[in-house]
Amino acid sequence: MPPLVLKGITVDFPFTPYECQKDYMNKVIECLQNKVNGVLESPTGTGKTMCLLCATLAWRNYFKDTISARKIAEKMGGAELFPNTPMASWGTAATDGETTTYYTDIPKIIYASRTHSQLTQVINELKNTSYRPKVCVLGSREQLCINPEVMRQESNHIKVHMCRAKISTRSCMFYNNVEEKSTDKDLVNSILDVEDLVKAGNKQRVCPYYLSRSLKQQADIIFMPYNYLLDPKSRRAHNIELKGAVIIFDEAHNVEKMCEESTSFDLTPYDLASAIDAVDKLLAEQAKEAGRGDVSEDFNVESLNAGLKLDITTIAKIKQILLDLEMAIDSYEVPGDKGITKPGSFIFELFQRAHLTFDTKTAIFEALEQITGYLAGKPGIFMNTTGLQKLADIIQLVFCIDSQEEGKGANIPPNMKPNTTQFKVHIHKDTSYHKKKLNTDVWNSSSSKKQGNVLSYWCFSPGFSMQELVRQGVRSIILTSGTLSPMSSFTSEMQIPFPVCLENPHVIQNDQIFVSIIDRGPDSVQLSSAFDRRFVPENMTSLGNTVVNLSRVVPHGLLVFFPSYPVMDKTLEFWRANGHADRIENIKPMFVEPRGKGTFTEIIHGYYDKVNDSKSKGGSFFAVCRGKASEGLDFADTYGRGVIITGLPFPPRMDPRVILKMQYLDEMSRKKTPGVQYLSGQNWYKQQASRAVNQAIGRVIRHREDYGAIFLCDHRFKSIDARAQLPSWVRPYVRTYDNFGNMVRDVAQFFRVAQKLRPPPEMTPGKGSCVGAVRSADPHCASARPCSSSQGFNQGGFAQKAKVLDSHVPSLKKRRLNECGGSEGNGMASLCIEYETEMEAGRRRPVGLLDALEHSDHRHGEDQGQAGEERANRFSTLSLQYDKRMEDELRGGKRKIKVVQERKTAITADITPEEGKAGKAKIFLAVMKKSLSQMNFQRVMAALQAYKQTDDLDKLLAEAADLFTGDTNTHSLLRGFYQFIRPHHKKLFDEKCVELTGLGCGYKPGHSLSKEEKEMLMLSGEIETHQTRQHSSSLQLSNFDLNPIKHPWDFLDEQVRSIETPPRNLQDLKDLLLTSWCQIPQHNFRGLVESMPRRVRAVLAAKGGQTQY
């Protein structure tokens, strides 16, 4: 393509740029040339990251070339290098006419984003450009350390102190190689992300953490999470030099919150108590050591314990300081739940009561660091040092002053008054007291007898951190994101000038987006999430009917965002009780965002699976604004065809921090500082809701060929102010309707047209991590990232790492089980779902022999270079495993082979009805959970719990029949409930299963016997006669002499499932099977021979037909 020249600078852009991309790069270059700050908004899918990298690196190269040209001109003694080009034209824009410019003045580029996963995506984008700068990525020891001993530590600050101890004694072999390897061209000139850096460290036996710090010195562009820049402690720890640097904050919609949180803290009674406890134990230990022998008065503990250079008197003083601080905080009587609020400068008055001042801060900080380091590296019982580390961090934060002031000997709080005006001190009761208690002695504290106070020191101006960056002498600060609207509030909060602003349009066409404000539901009830209306039954009913109707017309994936978790929980509870949830479930199975992180991945995978299921109408995902799904998850293409915003997510109005923030803004607005503009507290409150809405809206329409619908379901969106706060690319398409039916008609027509014009994205196999990636039709867009690896990249796909939630869109394939090797499976086991992600394939163990065979075939295909080999998803395997065990149960039990730990001998034992019950139940529940949506699974579990408590079979049958009889594929799940049914109900349940599904559960009279009745029969000897009679009337296939093939197979299956590492290839599997075969008990094979006549006679009698064998 022809060279792209913007503002006199040639930009090597890999594609023909759109106009909005040219505008974006022009603004970036304008910021860099004029040494000014900029706020740039460009929607996701417009190629923002590629534009940002190319424009910045092109300008930097131009700046470098300008210096070179000037140096050459100086050496030529005034002679013109190019007679037709005046020397004055060389680089005036880049170097601003500076006469003394050196190569050391070339600005470093600091590229910061919220998480390392986002930085990994940016680095992959950089690999796809022609630019090859020297790159460094900074991370924590937790991410980069490869020393096994340090990695074993659970707490991050303990890792830090252990690492420092090893460095000081040069006992870390990886660190000792850093100096030698830091000049290795392969490391210096390669573009490495965190994962690549760790791989290189393991390969070359060099510490990735200190290697990255070494590479930082010569890097042209440095990548880091933006808390490394905004947190003054992290900035000092990583020795980040800012003078003359260009700082880029990508995904900057979170910068405002991060600025405030990085300079705030909450000190709880538990923090102080744990710190006192740790110091007290150290003091007792040192006193005991000192008492063991003759020690002089001025003895140093270093002689007894290397690494701790504190005497007992100093340790005792530290303990007393902590006790005084605890007493000072608890001395304030807090009225009710409101708390006490003081100005920011009050923090110094409070700390002075504990003898913590500008004069003593350095000595106390160093003592706390020494104690923490000593206890962290101490072998034996784990010592909780989190409180000590938190106090050390607080001292750094509170007494953080400019080096110039510190050099003047600033000793009194007045020097800090300009800073503390943006802070408030808040003291309130500790509501978590009942959860955390420590055993402390009388000297320690009286806090264990009463509820303590929490000391909060809150920053209310993001400008505090931004102004600190400006004071460090940065050249330019660029804030960019897909969602920064409303821009006016964003820039005013930062408290630094932003002469350059841009709100870019999207690259989509009119027929790719549908936006509607729905102020009334289908029943004409006004929709509102206001505090006094959100839980009114009529409002929740109308909202439920709205979601049901939209579920019918929106294809594939539907996202529903609520203002908060309490609102979502209560609304869903109402919908479940009144039938709305069932109606949604029948159209699009429901998946609900959990509060914690533990099950989030599992639930989002379930949603993706349902959307990809060709038999279903898609899925619905219910989440909250500002939650995990709204912040960084990519719902491109079919995963997010529609998004419903159920209300305006205002911050909690009665939260003390929100109240104080609004009061602070109102106070600053009244002062009317010249040249500084503040929002009012009410405007800030409104715009926080708007920004959260905009972030949720940004989950859909992720690239040029994507399309989707946005529904704003609250009458307050109709106001001019609310509409004005929407993103600029959304505002032109907003429609309002007087009639709900007309809106449904139009959105149905919109999707019919869109599906004809833009067919679903093609699923194409690629290489490496891009196998099965969705191929985008447009290479310009951010979502259409070429697939990259350390060797190169493939232009046919885009990089998506399955382990990263922030960018995770799974590539799935599905096919019938009978296509997987010709099996004629049915029911739940008829579907194989392939997860085409390298990480998942490497991590997952085979759960059975069949799975291991397929896994081994897959690995063998990879070894032969045959990409695209498929393996069954765990769902299929669990289904087969459960079906098999259910058949065993119905046939009358089986034998269990138990393998001892050394795997040298095998012990066989008969299973009793009670043995293995938990295992079978666990498998059944796992299969059921995979087969049902999250909501329906919870319904089933609730029904089982109710049956357990009330013994009401009719209610359980009604719930189970409603869920499992509609689809023949789920009939086996209904029959699987047989194992949970109490003996006196088993016969009735069996009859009901025959009536509902046509098949019974294998009921026998003995199943109706309770445990007590069986024991009585056993004592009387009748049970033996009963079992013998039953055995003679019906031959049981579970006996090894009648079905000898079955148990060797079971034994091999057990062996494969029990190994820690799956077979890597067919040879490994063969070796494992041969070893396991030799361990099968000999009487199994004797049974095979002895039963041969009976089996042959049965086959002959059946004339080739099926037999019981």
pLDDT at 381: 60
pLDDT at 1018: 59
CA distance 830 to 823: 9
> Within a domain: residue 448?
no
Phi, psi of 942 (to 5 degrees): -65, -40
pLDDT at 660: 93
pLDDT digit string, tens, across residues 760-802: 665 433 333 332 333 333 444 444 433 333 333 333 333 333 3
**Cβ–Cβ under 8 Å, residues 498 and 509:** no
3-state secondary structure 295-354: CCCCCCHHHCCCCCCCCHHHHHHHHHHHHHHHHHHHCCCCCCCCCEEEECCHHHHHHHCC
Give the residue ranges of the chain where pLDDT is below 50.
86-93, 97, 99-100, 294-306, 402-418, 433-449, 763-913, 915, 1022-1043, 1109
- Looking at 412, 429, 446, the residue that finishes a domain is 429
213 and 193, same structural domain?
yes
Instruction: Look at strands 831-835 and 812-816 and give their pairing.
Output: antiparallel
**Cβ–Cβ under 8 Å, residues 521 and 545:** yes
- Looking at 429, 450, 478, the residue that finishes a domain is 429
Handedness of CA 672, 673, 675, 680 (dihedral sign): negative
> Within a domain: residue 922?
yes
pLDDT at 552: 94
782 and 747, same structural domain?
no
595 and 483, same structural domain?
no
Token reading at 215:
């590479």
1003 and 942, same structural domain?
yes
CA distance 844 to 1061: 9
> Within a domain: residue 950?
yes
> Within a domain: residue 870?
no
CA distance 914 to 918: 8
258 and 276, same structural domain?
no
Binding residue ranges for [4Fe-4S] cluster: 145, 163, 172, 207
pLDDT at 1042: 44
Q: Which neighbouring-strand residues pair with 113?
A: 225
Residues 6+ apart with CB under 8 A from 649: 561, 562, 563, 564, 624, 625, 626, 689, 692, 693
CA distance 280 to 326: 15
805 DSSP assignment: G
pLDDT digit string, tens, across residues 966-1008: 777 777 888 888 888 988 888 888 888 888 877 788 788 878 8
914 and 805, same structural domain?
no
74 and 149, same structural domain?
no
Residue type, 600: F
Angle, helices 386-398/361-376, rounded to nearest 10 degrees? 150
- Assign 251 to helix, strand or coil: coil
pLDDT at 1015: 64
pLDDT at 507: 86
Binding residue ranges: 145, 163, 172, 207
pLDDT at 109: 95
pLDDT at 765: 35
Which domain, by its residues, includes 180?
139-217
Token reading at 86:
């005046």
Beta strands in 504-600 (DSSP E): 513-517, 557-562, 590-592
Burial class (CB in 10 A: 0-12, 13-18, 19+), 713: buried
961 and 909, same structural domain?
yes
> Within a domain: residue 16?
yes
781 and 693, same structural domain?
no
CA distance 355 to 235: 27
Q: Where are the alpha helices (DSSP H) in 904-1021?
A: 917-931, 934-950, 953-964, 971-976, 983-997, 1011-1020
The terminus-to-terminus CA distance of the chain in angstroms comes to: 72
CA distance 158 to 907: 46
Peptide linkage before 1062 cis (omega within 30 of 0): no
Domains: count for the chain: 6
pLDDT digit string, tens, across residues 74-119: 777 655 555 555 444 444 445 554 544 666 678 999 999 988 888 9
Residue type, 742: N
> Within a domain: residue 434?
no
pLDDT at 295: 45
Token reading at 744:
């449904």
833 and 929, same structural domain?
no
> Within a domain: residue 864?
no
**Cβ–Cβ under 8 Å, residues 981 and 960:** no
520 DSSP assignment: B
699 and 566, same structural domain?
yes
CA distance 291 to 1006: 74
**Cβ–Cβ under 8 Å, residues 751 and 744:** no
CA distance 96 to 90: 11
- Assign 387 to helix, strand or coil: helix
Q: Which neighbouring-strand residues pair with 642?
A: 558, 709
* Alpha carbon of residue 868 to chain centroid: 28
CA proximity to 635, closest of 608, 670, 659: 608
> Within a domain: residue 88?
no
CA proximity to 40, closest of 388, 466, 480: 480
660 and 536, same structural domain?
yes
CA 349, 354, 357, 363: dihedral to nearest 10 degrees?
A: -160
